[in-house]
């Protein structure tokens, strides 16, 4: 039986790839369904001619790390940056509050690991966030008493650092993604270090997430899977959680499923955990063999919140809050991702059906934020925009302008003999080993806390239109790229 299924799978694989003319390109339907494989291969975001041209452009990068590539079409982007995506871990932060309040050391890990799993529902989106510009930041306020700040601390390699804090916990992360392009799929390795400190008992938790795979980038329906182990370790006691994310099989078998145990320091199972990362997680006390204890029952610890129906980018309600100026603090930093003209243009262009006058206003704002084009060029780009029903050209141009200004700022910095220095995080001497390579660690320096305290205590801050603030992550202002 197994042999027969294997032969069937290989035959279908060859049939699809033979049809497309490319060997080694796997096409499957993760949701199941009755479509045959050839029909499934033609589904997705790309038109036939786009698939062909994009394949010709990208196939030379097979086996490469494409993290820093800037030649990707705007069609695959979502109106969010990687710095904002880091903040999505805060949606179910109440689980960390509960972990801090919990006296049972094993149940504490149930809450904390469920928090780590909860973000995967949002991470299944198939659009790429914008790469942050060096010096770019993101601030989050007005959510569960949390202060959140993230900053792009390095350009080559691209690295971000983040810090969050409320009365129950502090959260610190240094992130450096590593990718491997495989033709029709992309492997993403989270080369990072995530630490959570629970304030009541001073417990420190370390998180190692599984890798992620983006399937069917060009041919077929694009979908995301994260097969492998997630390990959360209590560095204070030695207790840990090991959860296994099942890989998606043919016709969706095993997709979303997560199972594992909370272990004590002697690696004896104490609590079993089970669920689906797109739905809910539950737990139950277990015996030394990992079997549920008699007289106990499975209890739900986390359930995904309601989400918008038919949302353009599959954003959750919380993701929309992240993009909103309603979650911005007073005197928003000019380097904040919300203010990026390319991200802002994509968000407004794809999420509204406004008339040309509103579009004219938006595009004028976007151009004024760049300060890099002459009047003639502005007028030419504006006319092009007003006669285009989609935003892709203007977004790509805006994105290119920002990237060119970034290069200009780098030239000025190097000419002055200066090195880029992050404002809110300091590079340490610590090197952390991860399953996918060593990582330089950045530490929150506390200056943002001082900055925010000063701003919040000031009575003389006038109400301003946050959206009108000029985006400026640069150390050197008003650079010309002409």
Q: Write the pLDDT tens digit of every residue in 241-293.
A: 999 999 987 667 788 999 999 999 999 999 999 999 999 999 999 999 999 99
Query: Is the confidence at residue 366, as pLDDT, over 70?
Result: no
Decide which of 176 and 75 is more confident: 176
State how far the alpha carbon of 368 is from the alpha carbons of 336, 348, 361, 375, 390, in Å: 17, 16, 11, 10, 20
CB within 8 Å of 387: residues ≥ 6 apart: none
Summarize the confidence of residues 137-156 as an average pLDDT: 94
Query: Is the confidence at residue 388, as pLDDT, over 60?
Result: no
For residue 398, the model assigns a pLDDT of: 64
Q: Report residue 317's pLDDT band, with 50, 70 and 90 as the boundaries.
A: very high
Decide which of 192 and 456 is more confident: 192
Decide which of 5 and 226 is more confident: 226
For residue 333, the model assigns a pLDDT of: 94
> Which DSSP string corresponds to 156-209?
TTTEEEEEEE-SSEEEEEEEEEEEEE-SSEEEEEEEEEEEEEETTTTEEEEEEP
Q: Return the DSSP state at 240.
A: E
Q: How many CB atoms are closer than 10 A to CB 97?
A: 20
In percent, the amount of the chain with pLDDT more than 90 equals: 49
Summarize the confidence of residues 70-82 as an average pLDDT: 73
Give burial (CB, 10 Å; 0-12/13-18/19+) of 75.
Answer: middle
Query: Is the confidence at residue 370, as pLDDT, over 60?
Result: no
d(CA 159, CA 174): 7
pTM above 0.85, yes or no: no
CB within 8 Å of 4: residues ≥ 6 apart: none
Decide which of 368 and 258 is more confident: 258
For residue 347, the model assigns a pLDDT of: 87
Q: Report residue 407's pLDDT band, with 50, 70 and 90 as the boundaries.
A: confident
Check whether the bond before 157 is cis (ω within 30° of 0). yes
Q: Report residue 195's pLDDT band, with 50, 70 and 90 as the boundaries.
A: very high
Alpha-carbon torsion angle 51, 127, 115, 327, nearest 10: 180
For residue 65, the model assigns a pLDDT of: 77
Q: Report residue 419's pLDDT band, with 50, 70 and 90 as the boundaries.
A: confident
Query: Is the confidence at residue 478, as pLDDT, over 50?
Result: no
Helix (H, G, I), strand (E, B) or coil at 110: helix
Residue 382 and residue 361 in contact, taking contact as beta carbons nearer than 8 Å:
no
d(CA 449, CA 456): 10
Tell me the residue length of the chain. 482
Any idea which fold 47-482 has? Porin (2.40.160)
Candidates 26, 32, 39, 44; CA nearest to 250 is: 32
Q: Which two tokens stand for residue 476?
A: 């050197």
Could you tell me the residue ranges of all domains in the chain? 2-43, 47-482
Average pLDDT, the chain: 80
d(CA 233, CA 53): 46
Q: Please name the helix (run of DSSP H) or strand (run of DSSP E) that holds residue 270, with its range, or none.
A: strand 269-276
């Amino acid at each position: 039986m197994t042999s027969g299924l294997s032969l069937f799978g290989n035959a279908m694989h060859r049939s699809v790839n033979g049809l497309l003319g490319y060997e080694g390109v796997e096409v499957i339907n993760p949701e199941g369904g009755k479509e045959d494989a050839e029909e499934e291969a033609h589904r997705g975001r790309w038109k036939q001619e786009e698939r062909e041209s994009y394949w010709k452009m990208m196939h030379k990068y097979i086996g490469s790390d494409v993290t820093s590539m800037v030649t990707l079409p705007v069609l695959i982007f979502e109106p969010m940056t990687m710095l904002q995506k880091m903040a999505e871990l805060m949606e179910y932060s109440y689980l960390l509050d509960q972990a801090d309040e919990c006296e049972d050391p094993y149940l504490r890990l149930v809450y904390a690991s469920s928090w780590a799993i909860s973000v995967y529902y949002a991470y299944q989106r198939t659009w790429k966030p914008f790469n942050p510009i060096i010096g770019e930041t993101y601030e989050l306020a007005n959510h569960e008493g949390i202060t959140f700040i993230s900053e792009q601390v390095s350009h080559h390699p691209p690295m971000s650092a983040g810090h969050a804090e409320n009365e129950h916990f502090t959260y610190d992360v240094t992130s450096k993604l590593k990718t491997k392009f495989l033709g029709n799929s992309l492997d993403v390795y989270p080369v990072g270090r995530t630490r959570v400190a629970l304030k009541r008992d001073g417990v420190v938790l370390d998180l190692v997430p599984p890798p992620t795979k983006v399937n069917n980038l060009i041919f077929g329906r694009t979908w995301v899977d994260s097969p492998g182990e997630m390990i959360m370790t209590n560095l204070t006691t030695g207790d840990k959680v090991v959860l296994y994310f099942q890989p998606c099989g043919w016709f969706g078998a095993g997709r979303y499923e997560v199972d594992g145990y909370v272990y004590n320091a002697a690696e004896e199972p104490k609590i079993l955990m089970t669920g689906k990362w797109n739905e809910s997680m539950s737990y139950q006390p277990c015996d030394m063999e990992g079997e549920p204890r008699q007289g106990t029952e499975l209890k739900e610890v986390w359930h995904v919140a309601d989400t918008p129906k038919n949302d353009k980018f599959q954003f959750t309600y919380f993701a929309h809050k992240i993009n909103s100026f309603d979650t911005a603090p007073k005197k928003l930093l000019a380097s904040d991702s919300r203010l990026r003209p390319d991200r802002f243009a994509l968000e407004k262009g794809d999420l509204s059906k406004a008339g040309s006058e509103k579009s004219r206003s938006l595009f004028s704002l976007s151009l004024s934020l760049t300060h890099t084009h002459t009047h003639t060029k502005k007028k030419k780009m504006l006319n092009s925009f007003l006669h285009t029903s989609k935003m892709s050209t203007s977004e790509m141009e805006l994105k290119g302008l920002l990237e060119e200004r970034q290069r200009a700022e780098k030239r000025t910095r190097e000419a002055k003999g200066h090195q880029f220095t992050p404002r809110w995080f300091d590079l340490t001497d610590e090197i952390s080993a991860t399953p996918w390579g060593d990582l330089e660690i950045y530490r929150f320096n506390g200056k943002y806390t001082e900055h925010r305290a000063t701003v919040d205590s000031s009575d003389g801050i006038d109400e301003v239109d946050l959206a009108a603030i000029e985006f400026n992550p640069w150390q050197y202002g008003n650079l010309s790229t002409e």
